[in-house]
Structure 1
Amino acid sequence: MAPPARLTDRPHRRLLGHVRTGYWTRVVPVLTLLAVVTHIPSFIRPVWSPDEGYLATQARMLAGGGVLYDTVVDRKPPLLPWLYEACFAVFGSLSLWPLRVLAIVAHLVTAILLASLSRGRWGNRAGAFAGALYLLISIGLSPEDTQAATFEVFMLPAMVAAFRYAERRRWLAAGIAVALCSLTKQTGGAVLMPVLWMLWQDARHRGVAWKSALAKVCFGFALPIALVAVILTKPKGFLFWVVTGSGDYASLDGAWLQMLGRALGNAGILLAAALGFLAPVGRRLWLRYRGRPVQEPAGQEHGSTADLWVWLLSSVIAVCTGFHFFGHYYLQLMPPLVLLGVGAVCTSRIRWRPVLVYTTVAATVFWGLALFWPGQKMNHTTEVATTIAEQTTPKDKVLVWGMHPELYWLSDRKPVTRYLTAGFLTNYSGGKDTAQNVGEQYSVADAWQAFDQELSAGLPEVVVDDSGHAPYQPVLVPRIESLLDSRYEVVAVNADTVIYRLKK
């Protein structure tokens, strides 16, 4: 017979298990519904951003026998191109809806992890609200940045998981999560900063063997990256395209006023979306700055949020890296901001109702904005892609001289070159619209040699000049101007886009 103590423990354990299970069976369905509703607009357009078009074109090239970081190149890590390729293999490559579904799943996983973190710090209600608030502000930027299935969206689950594992002192798992985050987008590796901060704090306060914990983090971080770099891709190509080959792209050169305007503009949009729970954070900081006591609810435990501030700081550094300040970069700020906001509300006398009401109203505005987002740009792109398809056969190859690689995917035509945007050949960046350091001489190393070899194997049937008035327009790039003048004739013009066809 079992000891009496164990007999009495069993109902208690069942009750605890029921409470834990009951909590998540109530919270997860609500978060799932909220994730779907907030991102329904993502399905109304074939493509939201050039990044989606680039990934889709990459995936088709990989499926056709292309080699990543050799005949298929980008300045990004490999996990998301591989995910696109896998989805296309299962569902076909004519639509991005499978990726949009997976993007919703990524948002949901992020929300659940944030709920778990918040619940462990401030209780059940805080957990549910953290998950809901994240999903509401996850659409709190331009729809082109929040409804697209791009790098930042798929980076967030691993980023939050890394922080959660570190909080629970599971250092090996934290290191692996940081690696997965970095292999989705390089700046995701910034979460290593709060992970190491928590490791240091744990060693300082508990007197544990920090060397062993640090070794686990480093091993967990290095192993997946080494596996991808050495076994699954070409090491030299991986090192160049993911690590060392983006120096010019991430330089300080550019139109500073334009960059500053974009930085402040996107920060202001995010602030407007999240003001409901960021206002309590600001209030607490102001009271502490003024040396006034912060009134907290009776019995409310107030733990340190230093690790959350370190996480936010690392995310700010990540957003600033490269000085482009695109709106989708700001998605990386959302998880630590949500947790800081939830903590500020839970440890003050502020009521939840105004916080939730404001955030819901703001999310509704952004949701409506996504539904009615101007479609002129998409219509133009679709018309150009239709013209490309009409002027070519499926066997023909195409060159898009511009920054819109989605034209390849929408027209269902193969690119003639591994360089899917003119930026690789001219150092032009959409985030720095300036003529400074733009031209043939500023291209990626050996890019023009590889480009010439690709064209020597067969000229594209159609060339699309989508440069408009940009500083890389053909008249400013002699090689492209000479090619168009000698071998091509104009067959169509759509706004600023000129379509050329090979002379017979």
Structure 2
Amino acid sequence: MPTSRPSVMSTPAPADRAVPSQRAGRPRFPDRPALRGLRGLSGLRASYWGRLLPVLALLAGVTRLPSFTRPLWNPDEGFLATQARQLDAGGVLYETVVDRKPPLLPWLYEAAFALFGDGSLWPLRVAAVVVVLAGAVLLASLARRRWGDRAGGLAGVCYVLVSVGLVPEDTQAATFEVFMLPWTVLAMWCADRGRWAWAGLAVAGAVLTKQTGGAVLLPVLWLLWQARCGWWAAARLLATAALPVLAAALALGPGRLLFWTVTGSGDYASADGAAAHALLRAVANSALLAGACLPLVAAAVYAWRTAVRRPGNEGRTQTADVWVWLAASGAAVTVGFQFFGHYFLQLTPALALLAAAALQHLRGRLLFTALAVNALITSGFLLWALFAPHGELAHQQRLAAEIRSRTAPSERVLLWGMHPEGYWFADRTPASRYLTAGFLTNFSGGRGGVRVGEQYAMDGAWPYFSGELRRHPPVLVVDDSRGKPYAVRRTPTLRAFVDRHYERAGTVDGAVLYVRSHPAGH
């Protein structure tokens, strides 16, 4: 890693270290012991990373090994897979294919399908291992720069260990948070070195992966303020953060991008009538993540109260910007008041860095015990992932088999539910750009069925949806609500359409199938 610039949080140099002079307003060069030439420095780096990289790579591979044992882990993966297949067939994002998320990950899925085929997500599983490793390496580099070799290794290891410390469906899936986090860590890594333009680009990468990735801009601005680099550095940071987003808006349509990623989700982001449900979900996932890193937290608190407060250690653990990062990430988790488990992954980089800042002061048996116990807890989460029931997945596969038996590959179907993976399993074209009933009823598992109905749909959704059904009536309609409040019978417009043109043809595990009784429009 480069060493020509120091951390912007560098502390005053000890008397035995020389600090080369620089122009005012720029970060100082790092305080390093005298080394014998560049060759010796390169050898030191190679030795450090040569030992650490294999460890982090092994940990990243092992912790994500369960992800390869299922074709899909959650509806987000199913949505991305179905969406990517449509894009690869000529669909237009935010027009013929829609979602509330930014475009970067759908484009990545589309590219993977174009290169490796659309029948499996294994390329995305491999990519997820790579990005987890990238995040761990960047955190290790960041911590090493500030606090030394021990802290670097601890930051990387802690990050990987806690990255699976939630429900397996939230951590093993190759979805938005997993691919967003390396961008956020990269933004902090660049800002720590005073590379403001590159930090801005990393912020843009995070935002274009998931909107809440923009929360990392706050700690980056904090570091900029601490470095006192002036308006030109701030201009570079903000310009490079904005330009990729503006380029994406111009490519996709500014109005469409703004609507689908920001303004069109007002009812979805509201917690009216569901505050208790949201609070319960928040407490449950917070407790789960806390339990996943409890030994590290306990050891870090002990270290902080003892070693860190000893004379001479006061300046070694400056972490104000990391606390700002954690607070901003916590605010990002709260936005939307859904509190799904995968949202909490955004907390893990800052938590790992704070743990490393304290744990670096521990030695011997106590440090080994903390890491070993946490590794044991992580093993428990991996066993959970390997042996968790496949109930919903099995249902969708059985339903897809029934759809295939009743339709031809060229025929359109409508799956009225919250599991778009059925389209992907069945290899059938959706009859609508709305891949889930949530767009048309505002249903979300995060609110427990509150504020659900046609009146809470996204603006303009029902007229557009009705037009799709008239132009291309599906051969098969599947009501997969299974008792949920968005059922066809509780949705007047869709119920009237089905009653006019379809007849009941059977059920699959509670999902009701309707086939065409006579041509639409008669």
Normalized against structure 2, the TM-score is what?
0.89
1:426 to 430, 441, 461: 441
- Tell which deviates more after alignment, 76-85 or 448-457: 448-457
Quote the residue 1:444 is aligned against. 458
Q: What is aligned with 1:3?
A: none
> Which SS does the other structure have where 2:495 is aligned?
helix
Query: What is the CA–CA distance in structure 1 between the aligned matches of 2:287 and 2:311, rounded to whole Å?
Result: 31
Alignment of 1:233 onto 2:252? yes
Distance 2:273 2:108 in 1: 33
1:331-367 deviations in whole A, cap 9, x for unaligned?
A: 1000000010111112467832122111100110001
* CA apart distance, 1:183: 0.2
Following superposition, the deviation at residue 53 of structure 1 comes to 0.4
Structure 1 residue corresponding to 2:279, chosen from 254, 260, 273: 260
Show structure 1 runs of 5+ residues with no match.
1-8
- 1:314 paired residue number: 328
Rounded Cα–Cα distance in structure 2 between residues aligned with 1:178 and 1:26 = 30
1:495 matched to 2:514? The reply is no
Matched-pair contact (CA < 8 Å) for 2:100–2:265: yes
Match of 1:79 in 2: 104
> Does the 8 A contact of 1:295 with 1:348 survive in 2?
no
Q: Distance in 1 between matches of 2:336 and 2:450?
A: 17
Q: How many residue pairs end up in the alignment?
A: 484
Rounded Cα–Cα distance in structure 1 between residues aligned with 2:453 and 2:331: 29
Q: Does 1:409 align with 2:429?
A: no
Question: Per-residue deviation at 1:280?
Answer: 3.6
Q: CA deviation at 1:491?
A: 2.4
Query: Identity, % of aligned pairs?
Result: 51
Query: For 1:398, what is the secondary structure of its paired residue?
Result: strand
Contact kept? 1:297, 1:348, Cα under 8 Å: no
Measure the CA separation in 1 of the matches of 2:212 and 2:220. 15
Aligned ranges 1:87-166 → 2 under 5 Å:
87-166=112-191
Match of 1:243 among 239, 262, 286: 262
- What are the superposed Cα offsets for residues 390-423 of structure 1, whole Å, 9 maximum, x if unpaired? 1111001111111111111111111010000111
Gap regions ≥5 residues in structure 2: 1-33
Letter in 2 for 1:358: V
Q: Shift in Å at residue 151 of structure 1?
A: 0.2
CA distance in 1: counterparts of 2:307 and 2:136, whole angstroms: 32
Using the TM superposition, give the Cα deviation of residue 282 of structure 1 relative to its aligned residue in structure 2, in angstroms: 4.2
Alignment of 1:196-215 (within 5 A): 196-203=221-228, 208=229, 210-215=230-235
User: 1:365: which partner in 2?
Assistant: 380
Deviations 1:217-247 (A, max 9, x none): 11011111111111x2112111111121122
Q: Is the 8 A contact 2:303 2:359 kept in 1?
A: no
Alignment root-mean-square deviation, CA:
1.9
Query: Does structure 2 retain, via aligned residues, the 8 Å contact 1:277–1:338?
Result: no
The letter for the 1-side match of 2:172 is Q
Q: Secondary structure of 1:245's partner?
A: helix
Question: Are the equivalent residues in 1 in contact too, given 2:271–2:278 (CA < 8 A)?
Answer: no
CA contact (8 A) 2:441 2:453 kept: yes
- 8 Å CA contact 1:301–1:347 kept in 2: the answer is no
Aligned partner of 2:97: which letter? V
Instruction: Give the whole-Å Cα distance in 1 for the aligned partners of 2:35 and 2:371.
Output: 39
Q: Partner residue of 2:27?
A: none
* Aligned-residue offset at 1:299: 6.5
Q: Contact 1:60–1:93 at 8 Å: present in 2 too?
A: yes
Match of 1:396 among 399, 411, 414: 411
- CA shift at 1:250, angstroms? 0.8
Amino acid at match of 1:497: A
Q: Which residue of 2 is the match for residue 325 of structure 1? A: 339
Q: Distance in 1 between matches of 2:35 and 2:60?
A: 37
**Distance in 1 separating the partners of 2:313 and 2:280:** 45
Q: Do the aligned residues in 1 keep the contact of 2:441 with 2:454 (CA within 8 Å)?
A: yes
Q: CA deviation at 1:11?
A: 5.5
Larger mean CA deviation between 239-248 and 350-359 belongs to: 350-359
Q: Aligned-pair distance for 1:486? A: 2.2
Instruction: Give yes or no for contact 2:181–2:346 (8 Å, CA) kept in 1.
Output: yes
Say if 2:243 is the partner of 1:223. Answer: yes
- Among 261, 267, 274, the residue aligned to 2:293: 274
Instruction: Give SS of 1:183's match.
Output: helix
Whether contact under 8 Å (2:506, 2:513) holds in the other structure is yes
Q: What TM-score does the superposition give when structure 1 sets the normalisation length?
A: 0.92
Tell me which moved more, 474-483 or 181-190: 474-483
Deviation at 1:467, TM superposition (A): 1.1
11-20 vs 265-274, which moves further: 11-20
